[in-house]
Structure 1
């Protein structure tokens, strides 16, 4: 048996392993592994770490299910814009203005989308902002 104390990081590592290994698993298996992960979280010594570990363990079913299928036309359009922007080729001085325009368009779509999807749509902009920063740093 492993004599190392269980920490929040231990539970997080096990959660990541389960996410990698349980894709497509049946509900009974996911339920059993969630219960096992929660039991592991209960062994974390410090209270804040234990609470975070319990919270993360409870997320296993949702994490395995993946993101919900977008229901709105705004979400579908934002994903299409995002995909095009990521796959876009060309020099940075051409790509950056196109990325900035896409970010603006995605923001407008988020404003028009149902409230339950607006945040998810806005989060599509984060990787685009990081891509702009990368392009700027690689050309400057």
Structure 2
């Protein structure tokens, strides 16, 4: 989870390249704050559920993963839609500063990308849910 959160932060910062300074500060601050809050919560929940003192199987049997899932899923939703907002902001900024027919082509491309992003979001949500709420126990 720490690796995935770090990739999320890197993806968010990569979209900030070339933006105005005030947008960088606001959105970068939101991304960083969300990242730090998520990581501190993950480590705290792992500590309180005995992750660092038990073997992995004992921790899974003690339902530690369910407590962790209750913390992770809301951040998954918030982070995914914040990243989609940032991507859309970039696409629409480029689209509305361009001239002619390419403007509407970029708007259509953005809409297609949003549909593909939401399909990928649903697939990843299913994978995250199955991994955090084991149905085989």
CA radius of gyration, larger in: 1
